[in-house]
Structures are given as C-alpha cells and as structure tokens.
Amino acid sequence: MISQDSTSQNSTTIIEDSEYFNKNLNISYIPPNTPKPDNKIILKHYFSSIQIYGLIIILYWLNPFFSQSPLEIKLFYSFFYLAYILIAPIIYFSVRPKSIYNSHSIEICNYIAKIFSSKQKLISLNPEEIKNFLNLYKPTYKEKQSLMLIFIKSFFGILMVQSLYNNFLEIKANIPYYLEIIKSLIIHFKTQTITLAQAVPNDARQFLYRQAILILYSIDLSIFSFGYLTELTILKNKIRTVETTAAGIFFCLACYTPFVLSSNAFLGWGQSDVTSAFGDETSLLTWSIRFIALFFLMIYVSASIALGTKGSNLTNRGTVSCFPYNIVRHPAYVAKNTFWIITTLTLFIVDFTKPDFNFGDYILKLILTVLTLSSWALIYYFRALTEERHLIQDPEYRKYTQQVKYRFIPWLI
C-alpha cells in the first residue's frame, strides 16, 4: 500500500522535474505572465526568418540532391516563402504571439553574427588558447537546438512533401484503372453477367495490392509533411527539444534517402513488397502472407495517425499514449520491420523440384537476407534507444515509460 506521504513526495518530484525541464531544456516554454512581444523583437524575428528561410530556398534550388525534385514542389516552397513574407507581418503585429521570444531564426542569426564579428585569432598552439578559440564557435544550447531544428524541418520537410507528391502523381495516373475496376464490380453485383473473378482479374488484384501499400505510405507521408510544415500552440505540436547527438542523428538519417540508398547498397537489400510464394502470385499462401503484411503496415500507419500533428523525426513535441502507443513504445518500428520480414518470407517459399533450382544460391540468398533484415532491425533498435535517450529528458515521457513498460513486444522486450 502506497502511503499518502509517498504519493505527495512523488507529485512534488514530478513538479520539480517539470519546472527544471521547462526552464532549462524546453525551447518552446514561455514563463507565465510574460508580456506580449514589442515591435522591436517582432521585426527582429521577422527579418531574421526572411534571411534564414530565403537561404534555405536558395540551397533547395541549387542543391544537387534535390536537383531532380519536381518543379511543382520547388515552386510550392518558393510561393510558401513569398506568402510568409507578405502574410507573417499581419499575423505577428495583430496577434503578437509570445512564441516569438523563442525565435529560432534570431538564435541562428545571432550565432552567425557572433562568428563573423569575432576578431579572435589562433596565434599559438597553446592548449588553453585552442580551447578558448574553439569555444567561441561552439553554439549555446539554444543555438544548437535552433540550428538542428532548421535542418530537420528543411531536410525532412522537403523530402516528405516531395515523396507525397510523387505518390499523388502515381495515384492520379491510375484513376482510370480504379474506375475500370469499380465499373466491373458494379456490373457483377447488378447484373451478375460476369463473375467476381472476371470483375477483378489477377492483374487487377495485383494492382490493388500495390495501390493499398502506396496509399498507406501516402497517409503516413501526409501526416509527417503536415508536421514539418507546422509548429503552432493551437495544434499542440510546439517543439520542446531537438535531438542533437551524433548517434541519434546517424541512426535516424540512415533510414531515409539518400542515406538509405547507401545502406541498402552496403547491406545488399533485396526485399520486395510484391514477391509471391512458389512464384505463384495467385496462390492462397501468397495472398495470406500479403494480407498479414498489410495488417502490419496498417499498424505502422495507425502509429503515424496517433501522432497526428506531432509527427516528425528527431524532435520532442509531447508524448502520445493512445493506441498503438499504449501497447508498446515503438509500434511503428516494430510494424515496419515485421512488414519487411513477412514480405521477404515468400522469397524462400520456392519449388525445390524445379530443374533449374540451385540449392547453394538459395542458401546464400537466405543467409544474406537474414543478415540484412537483422542489420535493419539493429539500426531501428538503436534508433529507438537514442530516441528514448533524448525523450527521457521530458518528465512527461518518463511517466509514460512507467505506464508502457515494453519497447517492442509486450511482456518480452
């Protein structure tokens, strides 16, 4: 039985932890009774933002990695920037949001100004002098958080919106095929002049399976795209802290383009969403495996839906504890890896009696695939660990870990 004194002490500790977190780590925290910003700080934030966002737009147009980006996406961000220039002052001077006091643009501009205005030079190789010289260029906590935040929003924001747009174009191009299938189904159910197999032949079933995967990933991309484009108190997605450790950044970036391309090339990744058991894409076993795979992909997307406006990488926007986060702490990572494992199973369900079957090649492929899947599982394992190391700074997340004790599999790990 827990004593009243013990409960009171725990409550006091939580309050003290929250106060420390807000005052020292939470970059979106505004102390109570803070007055609304005056014209000077509003203008400083506005012009700092114009400079930072303008530089990002220029780099986006000139960066070789984004050189193949659709023109529509480049224009979207350019018009988004123009809209900010025109509309932001109206909002800032009419609403005067207190969040301007935590302006990331001002922090970055101050850091850049500090570097370029410094006249300090490294004259000797004295260790103490070298240390002082390097400390000059070392960003403060808030400067470091702001610099990383701008990178995250720029890199992941562009990447997500671009991927979502490409998916949209593919779905749009396939609308006639959707309509054709719907028309065939209507004929089947209304007139019974054709069978269900004729209404949805094998090619149509394969198409619908691939489209289901595409649509599910598009839902995920939509949520994260919105998260990167917004950060508002009203949406409850203000960023509290940003991951700035090398390990945390590495294990996250390893899972995304262009870094994932290098990872896949190194690991020899051969996974495919559309493989079939015994090479027969119409078999019951093939479709049973596919439906199970889709189930886990839906769990993956449900995790993104649960995050809602808080969806983004390498940031703490507040703890989510509804399904599926009330089951395990990393349902998305578990579901995605399980999806890969299940869709890979069919690669090894083959006809061993075929004349051209090579047992040596089969075993080699099996070993390499298992090693690859294990490597990706390990990457996501360390991604989860580094993510929790960052989030655990927040008392709200610490409380969540006490309620949801398992990271990946209930009652196991």
Per-residue HEC secondary structure of 177-219 comes to HHHHHHHHHHHHHHHCCCCHHHHCCHHHHHHHHHHHHHHHHHH
Q: What is the pTM of this model?
A: 0.91
Q: Output the pLDDT for position 273.
A: 84
| Gap between the Cα atoms of 142 and 104, Å rounded | 8
Is residue 10 scored above 60 in pLDDT?
no
Which residue would you say has higher pLDDT here, 50 or 278?
Answer: 50
Contact in structure between 351 and 285 (CB atoms under 8 Å): no
Rounded-to-integer distance, Cα 161 and Cα 153, Å: 11
**How many CB atoms are located within 10 Å of the residue 276 CB?**
19
The pair of structure tokens assigned to 259 is: 């870094």
Phi, psi of 242 (to 5 degrees): -125, 140
Q: Report pLDDT digits (tens) over 49-90.
A: 999 999 999 999 998 878 778 999 999 999 999 999 999 999
Compute the distance between CA of residue 340 and CA of residue 393 in angstroms, rounded to an integer. Answer: 32
Token readout for 388 is: 């929790």
How many other C-beta atoms are found inside a 10 Å radius of the C-beta of residue 305? 16
pLDDT confidence band for 128 (50 / 70 / 90): confident
Return d(Cα 58, Cα 318) in angstroms, integer. Answer: 32
Preceding peptide of 32 cis, ω within 30°: no
Report whether 185 contacts 199 (CB < 8 A). Answer: yes
Query: Tokens standing for 157?
Result: 């924001």
The residue count of the chain comes to: 413
Average pLDDT across the chain, whole number: 91
pLDDT at 98 > cutoff 90: yes
